[in-house]
Amino acid sequence: MLNIKAPAKINLHLEVKGRRPDGFHDLESIFLALDWGDSLCFDCSGAEAQCAIKIAWDIPIGGAVIQPEENMVFKAVSLFRARSGFMRGLRIRLDKRIPLGAGLGGGSSDAAATLLALNRLSGVGLSPAALRELAEELGSDVPFFLSGGAAFVSGRGELIEPLIVPEGLSVVLVYPGFVSNTRLAFALLDADGNERCVSRSREELIQALGGKPADWPYHNDFLPVFLAAGMEVYGDLLGELRRLGADFAALSGSGSTCFGIFSDEITASRAVEKFRGCGGFLYLTFPLAYSTRGH
């Protein structure tokens, strides 16, 4: 039996570069894993080559639900088996807290946790490079979750540079109760003729993480596109987070979760209390203080 956590992430910064020949987009992003997320329990039992997944849903109303066989855990198991030949029966329990389509990387984190768990349970011992290859095949955000912590992420999402996790920060997540479709968000961005925000150099972005959140030069390229498309809810939520004392507020990934970064935990707790009346679902959490999970 093996228990493993699958943390959520936020994107402090997300710049979308050009569309590539393979249809994906090059990105430059700062990812931060959070001390909150899903958890999984793996047990080697049951018939050879079988995989039973039980999902316990603990997500807010308005969150989507999917069938176990469409789950990223199932896809990660199939890929790991195909690559390693590990065919023992598996029973997996997934405690699902991260909403789907929320920009928090839930499915990707579950997939990465599954690869790490199977590599340990099976004794196959795939190398970190082999695991990264499988992660990349599963999705653009999956490679980040093999190491977690804070990272400068580029390419399609596969180039990961670990960064020092900022200390003493509180994170308030506001999930507005609806799903955002990543593929459609990228299509909307491609169709948008407006100018993007000023591009920052890699060095400037990395260096800023060690400074005060109030001075962070970070932005999310999806936000102006969503606002121009009439999704005022994002502007309202971010404005409210700032009004309640967030030093920095942004959209995570391609939505739908907004978050506020607070240098003071008491202000963050008060913001959560005040926010409750404004709708949306809230979580108060912290950056996860590790930079590598080890393989």
Note the residues at the interface with ligand C5P (CB under 6 A).
Answer: 24-25, 27, 139-141, 156-157, 182-183, 186
22 is catalytic: no
- In the complex with ligand C5P, which residue's Cβ is closer, 25 or 91? 25
Report, in angstroms and rounded to the nearest whole number, the Rg of the chain calculated over CA atoms.
19
Closest contact distance (angstroms) between CB of 184 and ligand C5P is 8
Closest contact distance (angstroms) between CB of 283 and ligand C5P is 22
Closest contact distance (angstroms) between CB of 141 and ligand C5P is 6
Residue least distant from ligand C5P (Cβ):
140
54 is catalytic: no
Which pair of tokens denotes residue 113? 């946790």
Kindly name the residue from 38, 75, 96, 141 that is annotated as catalytic.
141
Of all helices (H) and strands (E), which one includes residue 238?
helix 232-243
* CB burial string 235-267: b at 16+ within 10 A, e below: eebbebbeebbbbbbbbbbbbbbbbbbbbeeeb
Those residues whose C-beta lies under 8 Å from the C-beta of residue 266, and which sit 6 or more positions away, are: none
Contact 272, 262 (CB under 8 A): no
- In the complex with ligand C5P, which residue's Cβ is closer, 153 or 284? 153
Closest contact distance (angstroms) between CB of 244 and ligand C5P is 31
CB 28: neighbour CB atoms within 10 A? 20
Kindly name the residue from 9, 75, 96, 221 that is annotated as catalytic.
9
| Residues noted as catalytic | 9, 141
